[in-house]
Amino acid sequence: MAQITVADSGENQIVIAAGANHELSPSDVDAAADAIHAADVLIFQFETPIETTLHTLKLKGKGNGVSIVNAAPAIENPDPQLMKLCDVFCVNETEAGMIVRDNVQTVECAGRAVGKLLDMGCNKVILTLGHQGAVFATQEDRTPIHVYSPKMKAVDTTVSC
């Protein structure tokens, strides 16, 4: 369950009561092994136990679709295996700052943070910067690429189902 508030600027703040997310176990993953192997894309976040995410990434293996780990909610010291086993590690400026222990508020700072995340073993990194866009780099091409965001007035950055 999540309570989402939206500021006048359109930015959101999300407060999560984890509930059932914490109950997801490696045995649940094993029971879904066929679906995991068949998946084109697997997306993870830090609301489920890290042990379960690691188990899933190991089960998935390389070459079986794309795995994306979104490092939300932010934690200071994520297991380095998470970064090495996933195909794409996605963070925002707050999450990146906690992980690399640096202030990430500008595109230049984001480029340095992406480099540090690659040094920590990430294969590909996307660092989102809200209205400033995002910065992307890979192990194969470590040159940070800044993807601009067109200026818009955000009304609500949340999505309803």
d(C-alpha 98, C-alpha 100), whole Å: 6
Return the pLDDT at 1. 67
Q: Candidates 3.40.1190.20, 3.40.50.2300, 1.20.1050.10, 3.40.50.720; correct CATH number of 24-147?
A: 3.40.1190.20
Q: What are phi and psi of 158, to 5 degrees?
A: -100, 160
Q: Using one digit for the tens of pLDDT, what is the confidence trace for 82-119?
A: 999 999 999 999 999 999 999 998 999 999 999 999 99
Return the pLDDT at 28. 95
Return the pLDDT at 11. 72
Three-state SS at 9: coil
For Cα atoms 70, 116, 127, give the angle at the middle one, nearest 5 degrees: 35
What is this structure's pTM?
Answer: 0.84
pLDDT-derived band at 136 (thresholds 50, 70, 90) equals very high
Q: Using one digit for the tens of pLDDT, what is the confidence trace for 32-83?
A: 999 999 999 999 999 899 999 999 999 998 767 999 999 998 888 999 999 9
List, edge to edge, every strand of the sheet that includes 124-128.
41-45, 66-70, 88-92, 124-128, 134-138, 145-147
